Amino acid sequence: MIAHVVLFRPRRALSADRRRALAASFEAALQQIPSIRRARVGRRLVLGRAYEALTRADYPYMAILEFDDRNGLTAYLEHPAHDQLAAQFFGAFEEALILDVELAEGAAGLVELAGNRP
C-alpha cells in the first residue's frame, strides 16, 4: 500500500470561503478519482508528552490518502480533480510537508530499517 501523507498548517487569515472551497475540492477528488482507496483528515492532538517538544514544526492538520500501489498514486496525481485540489491547497497553507510512503503491515516494515531487506 502507498500512503500520500500531507501535514499542513493553514494560513492564519484563510477566509471561510477559501476553507469551504478547499473542502469542496477535496470532496470532488474523493468522488472522481477511483484509485483512492481510503482518505482521512484529522487535527493534531497535543497531550503534553516529551516527544511533542522534539517536533520542529507544528502541523495542526494531516491528510492521509491510501492507494493500492504506485500506479494508483500516479493516477491520483495526474487526475484533473487533483489539479483543482492542489490549486486550492497550495493557496491555503502557510507550511506543509508532503510525503509518499510505501507501507508494510506490522513489523515487516522494520526489515528494511534493520538492513535485512530480502
pLDDT of the residue at 55: 86
CATH architecture, domain defined by 2-113: 2-Layer Sandwich (3.30)
Residues 13-23 pLDDT 10s: 999 999 999 99
pLDDT of the residue at 105: 83
In angstroms, rounded to a whole number, what is the distance separating the alpha carbons of residues 1 and 117? Answer: 17
Question: Cα dist. 18→13, 27, 57, 116 in Å?
Answer: 10, 14, 23, 47
Residues 101-117 pLDDT 10s: 999 888 877 777 777 65
- pTM higher than 0.85 for the full model? yes
Residues of the chain where predicted confidence (pLDDT) is lower than 50: none
pLDDT of the residue at 30: 97
